[in-house]
Amino acid sequence: MIMSLEMARVRTSRLSSARRLAVRTGGVLLAVAIGAGMSVPGFAQAPSPSQVTPRSLAPDIQRSPTGVVLPEVPAGQVPPGAAGVTLRVGAVVVEGGDPGLAPDTAAITATLRGRTVSIAAVYAAAAAIEQLYASRGYFLTRVVIPPQDARHGGTLRLRVVEGFVEAIDSSRLSSRVRGRVDTITAGLVGVRRLTLAVFERKLLLAGDTPGLALRSRLEPGSATGAVKLVLDGEHRPLGADLSIDNSLPKSLGTTSATLSAAFQSAAGMGELAYITASGSPSNGWLASEGPRRLVAAGIILPLGADGLTFNAEATLSDTHPRNGPGVLQTESTLRRLAFRLAYPLIRSRTTSLTLRAALEVTDEQQRAPLFDIALYDDRLRPIRIGADLVHVVASTGTSLGLGFDFSQGFHWLGSRGRADATLDRPISRALGNDVFSKLEFRARLTQALAWNFALELSGRAQYALTGPLLNSERFTLGGPRSLSALDSGLLAGDSGWLIRAELQYSALIPPGPAGQGAMVPYLFVARGQAVNLRPTIVERRTVGATNVGAGVRATVVPNGQPLAPRAIDLGLEGARQIGDGPGHDGWRVNANASVKF
């Protein structure tokens, strides 16, 4: 009897081991199939965490709403009756000034030399010389006619007064930002031949101090040609943003609620510390088993006084798609560390050119809990360099934005590529690798039209230089302000392009009990394609779609009451998808709301 029981236990143990081996073997085969890009019955692959997570979670720095305010300083006043008094001018001497502008100055004074002219013409020549200096950026330079005994045929003297900033008064600023602003603007004091470009750059960089809305004005100084720069403004040490939208796939809960907080120059160093959390509001928000969860934190620190910044950011995102019965359940995790440098090479009221460089440490894993097996384990360590250009032409109502990034992956710092993949720990795409190169481009053009209409054209593209890419580096088409009839992260490829055109109409929301604001109804059409390089037999080389639709965006600024939000943004859009393949057409309604404090 004892021997029979022991034999039964042995048979049961062997059977359990065989079942575990079969399950694990099935999981390995499943992982290999998915890594090769094969379709697996009952497995509807949701976007990976990296495909629904922005590359950067840093908030936009609040720019100074009023920019640089320069005083209108007229040229020398023409005495009454000057037009009726004439003078025969002999020689003309211009005292002081820039030797480099002497030929142009001589061309202006030649209109006076040896001629009988009115006194008004003399003042007009002085104004022309002053305008010459202004055209070269010397906005504080003045040309005056000093007191003199003017005689017919005598020498006429003009004097170039090189203005300068005598002092800067920042006493009206909050103590948390005053030190940073003083550090940036200190280089303006006492500089002769100060150009408008340098002056603008310093003030705009000071206005970029996180949380500061800076205002400036010039007042007369105590010395000849001197001015005093007076700075004031409001500082918000804490900013918060609560938003909700329905851009995610159904398997990831569709709706996500995001709470962001930013600590702006709270420590007095011009720093920006931020934290963001996002999750499904109907599934425990940040619950560990929710369909999607994202948490990120970072800090932006100024380096020096010329706009260079360093950004360190950590991101954790995981997904547990709700695929329903009969579909393989998966769980995915994204961990990313990013270290970024940014430098404004050009910073003016009309043009900004920012150079960027970054190192990212990205780990993304997906596993099937049922089989206790890794479906893929990607580890990438790319370096990215790029630039962003923004140019505004106020006279024509034109705004242009351009950007590019070059990304290069390296086999270092614990990265994993094809050579490291195994049957039980594959990578997300069998032909992908941790060593890769790709280019990304972005563009946006907004042109004001008549009757409050505007046309906005936007586009982005990616070109994979070295072949198939792993999941986190692929180009996706779906999402807001892209192919918005698609869920975020859907339709992916190694290379791709997308263009979108919107015809917008701007209307003011008149002041009322709730506040005032603006509303922008729009019509849009968008087209995009993604290309899979070296596709498997079950992959389509090219996937794409066309979207059309209409929507409205609105911004409401509440009345300035205690605890009232700073702004409320609302959006509603209906989008129709016209897919390249059969059975992909359909409508989607997108809604979003954001409250800024």
The DSSP letter of residue 195 is -
Same domain, 495 and 384: yes
Tell me if 3 is assigned to some domain.
no
Same domain, 257 and 123: no
Same domain, 284 and 189: no
Same domain, 457 and 392: yes
164 phi and psi angles, rounded to 5 deg: -155, 160
Confidence (pLDDT) at 405: 98
What is the 3-state secondary structure of 356-418? EEEEEEEEEEEEECCCCEEEEEEEECEEEEEEEEEEEECCCCEEEEEEEEEEEECCCCCCECH
Same domain, 36 and 155: no
Among 216, 235, 254, give the residue marking a domain's end.
Answer: 235
What's the domain count of the chain?
A: 2
Q: E strands of 426-506, at which residues?
A: 437-448, 453-464, 475-476, 492-493, 495-505
Confidence (pLDDT) at 17: 45
Tell me if 184 is assigned to some domain.
yes
Same domain, 455 and 339: yes
Among 210, 235, 260, give the residue marking a domain's end.
Answer: 235
- Closest alpha carbon to 87 in 58, 125, 52: 125
Same domain, 224 and 356: no
Tens-digit pLDDT profile for the chain (597 aa)? 333 434 444 344 443 444 444 444 444 444 444 444 443 433 446 788 999 999 999 987 655 444 444 444 445 566 776 677 788 888 899 998 889 899 999 999 998 898 888 888 888 999 999 999 999 989 889 898 888 887 888 888 999 998 899 999 999 999 999 999 999 999 999 998 899 999 999 999 999 999 999 999 988 888 888 899 999 999 999 999 999 999 999 888 899 999 999 999 999 999 999 999 999 998 788 888 889 999 999 999 999 999 999 999 999 999 999 877 777 889 999 999 999 999 999 999 999 999 999 999 999 999 998 888 999 999 999 999 999 999 999 899 999 999 999 999 999 999 999 999 999 999 999 999 999 999 999 999 999 999 999 999 999 999 999 999 999 999 999 999 999 998 888 889 999 999 999 999 999 988 877 788 899 999 999 999 999 998 877 778 999 999 999 999 999 988 766 555 788 999 999 999 987 765 567 899 999 999 988
Q: Is 373 within 8 Å of 424 (Cβ atoms)?
A: yes
Domain of 26, CATH number, reads: 2.40.160.50
Domain of 204, CATH number, reads: 3.10.20.310
Same domain, 85 and 107: yes
Which residue range(s) make up the domain with 102? 63-235
Same domain, 431 and 292: yes
Confidence (pLDDT) at 1: 37
Q: What is the pTM of this model?
A: 0.86
Identify any residues that bridge with 577 across adjacent strands, giving them in sequence order.
Answer: 547, 586
Same domain, 267 and 348: yes
Tell me if 7 is assigned to some domain.
no
Q: Is 517 within 8 Å of 555 (Cβ atoms)?
A: yes
Same domain, 488 and 506: yes
Among 235, 251, 273, give the residue marking a domain's end.
Answer: 235
Q: Which two tokens stand for residue 549?
A: 């639709």
Confidence (pLDDT) at 3: 38
Same domain, 561 and 517: yes
Tell me if 129 is assigned to some domain.
yes
